[in-house]
Structure 1
Amino acid sequence: MARFILTLFGVATLFFSTSHGANADTEEVYGLAQGCFAVQSAHNDRFMRRYQTNGTINGGWSFDFSAVSPEDAALFYMKPSELGTFMMRDQGGRFLDTRLPADITAGNVPGQHANWRIDERMQSGEQQFRFTSLSLNRTLRHNWNSRGIYLLDLLNPGNKDSEAWFRLVPAQNCEDFPEAEVNIAGDLEPLKGNANEPVRGSIDAHTHITSYEFMGGTMMAGSPFHPFGVTKALADSSDVHGPDGSLDVIGNLMGFNDINFRYNTAGWPDFPFWPNHQSLSHTGYYYRWIERAFLGGQKMMVTHLVENEVLCNLLPGLCWRPAAEILDLGVRAVYPIHRFDNQFGGPRIESGLINVGNNLSTGRYFSTSACDDETQGQMMYNDLGLFGLEALLGITGSTNYDETTDQCNNRGLTDLGIYLVNRMMDMGMIIEVDHMSQHSHEAVLDIKEPVLMFLAMMTA
Structure 2
Amino acid sequence: MVRFGIALWAVAGLMTGCGGSGDAGEEDTTSAVTSATDVYWMANQCLFLSSEQGDELGYVSASASIPTYSILGGPAEAFYFKPTALGRYMLFDSQARWLVAGEVPQAAGLSQLDERADWQLHQAENNQYHLRSTVNDQWLAINGSQLQYAPTAELASSFYLTPTDGCAEFPEASTNSAGAPVRASFDDGAVWGMADAHAHVFGSMAFAGNVMSGDVFHPLGITKALQDCRAEHGVNGWMDLTGFITGGPGDEFDQISKIPARYIFGQPFHDTRGYPDFTFWPNAQTKTHAMGYYKWLERAHLGGLRLMVNLLVESPPLCQVARTLNQWYAPYDPGFRQNPDVVCTGEASAMAQLDATYALQNYIDAQEGGPGKGWLRIVTTPEQAREVIKQKKMAMIIGVELPDLFDCINGVETGSAQCSTEYVERRLDEYYNLGIRTVFPVHHYDNYFGGAVVFNPIVEIAKVVQNGELFRYEPCEEAGYDPLLALKIPQMYYNLFPDALKNLPLFPFLPQADNYCNAESVTPLGEHLALAMMKRGMLIETNHMSSKMKRAVLELAEAYDYPLMDTHQRKAWDDSGKAFESRYLALGGVRSPMPNMVVTVDEYAGIRKTCENSTSQDLAMQIEAVGDVRQQLGVDPGVVISTDVHGMVSQAQPRFGELANCDEMQILPVEYPFTSVDGGVVFERQQTGNRVFDFNTDGLAHYGLLPDMVEDMRRQGLSEAKIESLFRGAESYLQAWEKALRRSAALTE
Q: Same fold (TM over 0.5)?
A: yes
Relative to structure 1, is the Cα distance of residues 440 and 35 closer, same or farther in structure 2, using a 3 angstrom cutoff?
Answer: same
Q: Gapped runs of 5+ residues in structure 2? A: 1-14, 17-35, 263-268, 318-343, 346-411, 490-504, 571-576, 578-749
Correspondence 1:40 to 2:50: yes
Match of 1:441 among 550, 561, 568: 550
Is the contact between residue 341 and residue 362 of structure 1 (CA under 8 Å) also seen in structure 2? no
Aligned to 1:322: 424
Aligned to 1:244: 236
Correspondence 1:288 to 2:295: yes
Deviations for 1:325-351, whole angstroms, at most 9, x for unmatched residues? 403541432211110122333222133
Aligned to 1:179: 172
Distance 2:282 2:514 in 1: 31
Relative to structure 1, is the Cα distance of residues 414 and 121 closer, same or farther in structure 2, using a 3 angstrom cutoff?
Answer: closer
**What is the root-mean-square deviation in Å for CA atoms of aligned residues?**
3.7
Aligned to 1:417: 526
Distance 1:187 1:425 in 2: 39
Q: Gapped runs of 5+ residues in structure 1? A: 1-23, 54-59, 385-395
Aligned to 2:448: 343
Aligned to 2:270: 263
Aligned to 2:209: 217
Distance 1:276 1:224 in 2: 16
Aligned to 1:149: 147
> Structure 1 residue 432: deviation in Å?
0.6
Counterpart of 1:452, as a letter, is P
Secondary structure, counterpart of 2:178 in structure 1: coil
Aligned to 1:204: 196
> Structure 1 residue 296: deviation in Å?
1.6
Secondary structure, counterpart of 2:38 in structure 1: helix
Match of 2:107 among 105, 108, 111: 105
Is the contact between residue 186 and residue 192 of structure 2 (CA under 8 Å) also seen in structure 1? no
Correspondence 1:304 to 2:311: yes
> Structure 1 residue 216: deviation in Å?
5.2
Deviations for 1:125-184, whole angstroms, at most 9, x for unmatched residues? x4333333333333333344xx333348xxxx9xxxx98233322102323422222223
Distance 1:292 1:242 in 2: 30
Distance 1:417 1:329 in 2: 17
Bigger Cα Rg: 1
Of structures 1 and 2, the one scoring higher in RCO (CA 8 A, sep 6+) is 2
Distance 1:243 1:444 in 2: 47
Secondary structure, counterpart of 1:29 in structure 2: coil
> Structure 1 residue 87: deviation in Å?
0.6
TM-score when normalising by structure 1: 0.74
Is the contact between residue 201 and residue 310 of structure 2 (CA under 8 Å) also seen in structure 1? yes
Aligned to 1:453: 564
Secondary structure, counterpart of 1:74 in structure 2: strand
Distance 2:534 2:275 in 1: 44
Aligned to 2:70: 64
User: Which shifted more, 403-412 or 355-364?
Assistant: 403-412
Secondary structure, counterpart of 2:177 in structure 1: coil
Aligned to 2:676: none
Correspondence 1:118 to 2:132: no
Relative to structure 1, is the Cα distance of residues 290 and 413 closer, same or farther in structure 2, using a 3 angstrom cutoff?
Answer: same
Secondary structure, counterpart of 2:82 in structure 1: strand
Distance 2:208 2:464 in 1: 23
Distance 1:407 1:91 in 2: 65
Is the contact between residue 474 and residue 519 of structure 2 (CA under 8 Å) also seen in structure 1? yes
> Structure 1 residue 369: deviation in Å?
5.8
Aligned to 2:64: 52
User: Which shifted more, 113-122 or 359-368?
Assistant: 359-368
Aligned length: 400
Relative to structure 1, is the Cα distance of residues 76 and 401 closer, same or farther in structure 2, using a 3 angstrom cutoff?
Answer: farther
Relative to structure 1, is the Cα distance of residues 216 and 187 closer, same or farther in structure 2, using a 3 angstrom cutoff?
Answer: same
> Structure 1 residue 215: deviation in Å?
4.2
TM-score when normalising by structure 2: 0.48
> Structure 1 residue 435: deviation in Å?
1.2
